[in-house]
Structure formats: C-alpha cells, structure tokens
A and B are shown apart, each in its own frame.
Chain A
C-alpha cells in the first residue's frame, strides 16, 4: 500500500515540478534536444579507472594561471537538501540526479533541461556510461531502489535491478564502475540505521561487491565482505536476539587496475560483535570471478552503529572507533615504475599499499580522525607531480585524544612524506562553520579543487598549496529553473572539472551540516586568439 502511496506522491510531485518547469523554462524551450554523446569527461567516480580523480590538461583548461578568473556561469536548483549525485559530463550535456525530480540531462551552457526521467527518486551515486548494442547507457544506483541503466539519448529506463544475493535490505551508497560489459556495484546495508529500533536484533547483513551484466543487469557474481554467517551472540529485553559478525559495508566506489584485472575497494566497520577480520579493510578482487586476491585489515575490532549515538541497546560493547574506509583507494605509478595503491581512512591514516600483496609500504597519520573523517569521501592524486592530496575533515564526533587538523595535505606518494599542508580556519563558531574537508576533492593539471563543510569552494596550487581562488557558496542563488536555491556545506562527491567548467553541488544536510540545493557551474572564459 505504501509503495502505491509513494508512487502517487511521486507522480503528484513530478506533476507539480513539471508544471513549474514548464512555466519557469520559457527561454529553455529550444534546448529540449538530444544530448551529445561523443565525448565523456570521466569514466568512473574516480574520473579514471585508477581512481585518481585527476583531470589532465586534455580534459580541462582550468589551471593555476586562470583559476582566479572563474566566474559563475549558471545555477540549477536541485530538488533535495542533500544532493548526492555526481554528474557525468559530455561535450554539451551534464547528466545528474536531481533528488525527488529524478534524473535530468542539462544543457551544459545554460542549465536548461534536455530531458528528465522522474521515475528514479533517490539517485545517490556518480553516473557512469557504457555503450551496449550501439546504445549509450547511463548507469547509476538509487540509494534504496537498486541499480539502473537509462538510455542517455532519451532518458528512457532500460533496466533496473537489485543484486541477486540473500541481502534483504541493501543500500547503494558507493558509485558503480563499468568495465568490459560488467557493472561493479558496491553494497552497504540499511541495517546500520535499523539499530535505532531497540526491538531490532542487530545484525546479520554483510557489505559486498557485485558484478552485473551491463546489458541486462543480471548478477554475474557477488562477493560479501563477511563470508561467515551471523549467529546469535546474546539477547536484550529478554527476547531480542543479537547477531554477529555483521556490517563491513562498502560505502565507496571501487577502483580498477586494468593491468592486474583487480578491483580495489575499502570496507567499513562491523555493525555488531564479534568483529570480523574484513572490516576496515582494503579488498583486492578479481574482476572476472569475484575471487579475493587479498584482504588487508587496517583497524581490528571496530564495531559501531547508529544506536551508539543515542546509547541504545544495539550499540556494540565496546563501541567504535568507527573508522571505515569511506573514500575509495586510488592507484599510482611510483618513480621506480612500480604501482602503489593509496587509501585514506576515517582515522586520518593514509596508506601506501602493494597492489600485489596488500602489504603496507608506507603510512602517514594526519589529524584526529573520527566517525565523519579524517579522510571521509575521497582523495585525489596528480601523477605528473607524484603527489596525493588528502582532505581532512576532523569534525568533532567521538572523543579523540589528538587535536583536529582540518585542511588539505599533499603527500609525496613515493614515500608518504607530507610535502605541504593547508590548515583551514573556522570562519565562525557554529558546527555548520566547521572548516574541515569532508567532500571528495578533484585534481587538475596543477591545481586541487576542494569544497569545505563551511561552504567554501577553493582552488589551491598543486605544487605548494597556495590558495588561488575561493567562493563562498552559503548564499541564495537565482537558479535557471527558478526553484528557491541556496548553497550550504560541501560534502559527498565533491567538484568536477570538464573543459572550461567547474561543476559542483553545494549543500548537504544529512548529519547536521548546512543543507542546500545548488548545482553550481563556473567557467573561465576561453582565451581569445589575437
């Protein structure tokens, strides 16, 4: 009954939005045309398969010489206060999840809607693409509604699937990655929130990674992070049975080493005890079979769920420290020619890891760490400068002994040495003004683009950390679609560079940050030939 209710409400909302758009988008009528699909500016959430989130000069003209000339080109008002979709950009179009409105294809020059698909209400990931039978598909996940493939030309739904396993309540938080006709889908679980119900017997589900057929969505293989079946470990309220091990969700996108044909991804904490040996770990998995090449755990015995914040019965004893790998790992080539996997943890630790063995080559601890980072959503690298850039949030969560160091850190990825750092200062006292960097960051040819929890969008020079440009997004905007639009905290997927455009969603109110709904598109004017 409720599903029907949801559909009716969604239809009603869509009707209202469509009516509003029809009125608001008079000047946009001419742009309702098919999107160009010749050139895509990213392959994955991590920009490339190697997850570096590095946009070279081939794909962006924004650099340290012109960053200070960035100007706001247009703003689109999203239909959510916590935008959680990372766009896919082509030569003339931006595809992005628009909260309750669905999936939209926007003209990248003016933000006008080319097409929209209002069937999918909870897009929570990056959008990636794949050509199947001559048709370009957009592939992404809805937070609770499964994995989707949509025709990029028309917006028509091609398939929708849940992963075939025994997982009753999956949550799709990490972005899918598409390679060689397979869609790799990270899986976490709603169970972390069900623990708030004291009559719930925490917990039985495991995180995992699945491979789906990109043409049909059929499950090819599924690899749980915890192979062991959860067993009864205790009771509370006399009757409510507690289970473990559980959890180890895969919150972030995978990274792909095409040479080794290995998929790398991080896992989160256990939801209950006993803790498993695969929580807070980095996995290396064969893409063809789903077999594990190696798993390396970096924090043992970490068990935590949302019940802990309120002292409810489902909180494991002892709890925490809740320092999962939310940020996807990335792959770099060292000066020696060897490869190295680099992973940042919510503890504030950054690791250089041998991709063949999982052995730690170096590790560097930055800041205090905590339940919302430390390193939270994503690091980036510049392979031309041998640097990995590490955003640190350190927003106060659980008690920690070390002092916070919110800011941006550049490490030599050959040895983990800190080359430069920028500690960000609070612009006011409130929690919504915390200066930390929780959102994923992006690297350009010689720049690093960051968005902070206090709503500042900034560009730093990659070589020395000098601040080149900043823009305070905590303000109201006039949006091309005429929705009431304001910026807020930067969190989640972070900024994207494509040609002369800088694209980013401002606002994220999921954990007490400043909410907002602004899709901001900045540009630098192209150099004119004399």
Chain B
C-alpha cells in the first residue's frame, strides 16, 4: 500500500454495504439460534426485546467483521469489494474502537431514531459521499476515509 491509495468508488462502497446488510443479520440469526436470547418469555418483558435485539446485532457484526476490522480495516463486504477504511490521510487501518463505536454503532443507531429532525441525519450523512473527498459525515466524525486496497485494481 502507498500513502496515496485512491479513494474507493461510490458504487463499490454501496455494494460493500449491501453485502454487510445481508450477511450481518444472517450471522445474528445464527447467534440468536445458538444463544437462545429470544427463546424465552423474559426476552419480551419491558424493553428487553430492544436491548437484546441491539446486543444481538452488535454480536453478529463483531463476529463476522471484528477481526477483519481490527487487522485490515475491512468488513466482509469491503473485503469482497477490495476496499478498506483508513485513518484519513494515511494508509493504515483506523483504530478498532472508532470503527465500531462511531461508524458501526453510533450512526446506525441514529438512523433508527424516527423523530424529526433526527431522521434527517441519515440523509445528511450519506449525502456527504458526493463531496469531492467522498467522505460521509460518519467518516468526518470518525476521521476516516475509504480507499481501494493497493493490491486491488481501481474501479
């Protein structure tokens, strides 16, 4: 990898996200099946269903992406699409805590809030992809950018 890895194309990023959106729930269902977190009545009392659902999603995400993110700055989708998340201006993977807490948890959780004007955050976040640097709002907050891995051809 060089210091000037080219920015990932919007199309590749979109496909990578779609792959993750498909794979993470599948893994979460496997976790659900094995762990039995939704098997008993207690899981549906009070706010348990939302708490457990959230933790299940986190578990599924980390199980499939945790090691990849830590070592290569990639999710499964990004691996397949040959792109990676780096600390902005470098070619090194961003720290895992930033990738997980800010990119994977904080912003997607905001997407789930249905109250105006918070609902606009999802649109604003994604709209930033059309900026010259192709950095979404979550990239700006996280200090990351998404680039093509140097061993993979450009889009």
Chain A positions near chain B (C-beta within 8 angstroms): 1-3, 5, 8, 168-169, 189-191, 194, 197, 199-201, 203-205, 237-241
Task: State whether B38 touches A197 (Cβ < 8 A).
Answer: yes
The answer, among A168, A189, A201, A205, for a CB contact under 8 Å with B36, is: A201
Task: State whether B45 touches A201 (Cβ < 8 A).
Answer: no
The answer, among B34, B36, B39, B44, for a CB contact under 8 Å with A169, is: B44
| Complexed CA–CA distance, A189 and B45 (Å) | 11
B32 within 8 A of A: yes
Task: State whether A2 touches B39 (Cβ < 8 A).
Answer: no
| B51 vs chain A, min Cβ distance (A) | 9
Number of B interface residues, CB 8 Å?
A: 17
| Complexed CA–CA distance, A241 and B39 (Å) | 8
The answer, among B32, B39, B47, for a CB contact under 8 Å with A1, is: B47
A237 contacts across to B, CB distance below 8 A: 33
| A43 vs chain B, min Cβ distance (A) | 33
| Complexed CA–CA distance, A168 and B29 (Å) | 24
| Complexed CA–CA distance, A251 and B10 (Å) | 56
Q: Which B15-48 residues have C-beta < 8 A from chain A?
A: 29, 32-34, 36, 38-42, 44-47
**Given A237-B33, A240-B33, A240-B36, A168-B45 contact (CB < 8 Å):** yes
Task: State whether B44 touches A190 (Cβ < 8 A).
Answer: yes
B44 contacts across to A, CB distance below 8 A: 168-169, 190, 194
Task: State whether A239 touches B40 (Cβ < 8 A).
Answer: no
The answer, among A3, A5, A194, for a CB contact under 8 Å with B41, is: A194
Task: State whether A205 touches B115 (Cβ < 8 A).
Answer: no
Which B residue sits closest to A242, measured CB to CB? B39
A204 contacts across to B, CB distance below 8 A: 40-41
| B154 vs chain A, min Cβ distance (A) | 42
| Complexed CA–CA distance, A239 and B39 (Å) | 10
| Complexed CA–CA distance, A1 and B109 (Å) | 11
B114 within 8 A of A: yes
With A1-B50, A199-B29 already in contact, 17 other A-B pairs whose C-beta atoms are closer than 8 Å:
A2-B47, A168-B42, A169-B41, A169-B45, A190-B44, A191-B41, A194-B41, A199-B33, A199-B38, A200-B38, A200-B39, A201-B36, A201-B39, A201-B40, A239-B33, A240-B36, A241-B39
Which A residue sits closest to B34, measured CB to CB? A239
B50 contacts across to A, CB distance below 8 A: 1-2
Task: State whether A5 touches B33 (Cβ < 8 A).
Answer: no
| Complexed CA–CA distance, A240 and B32 (Å) | 10
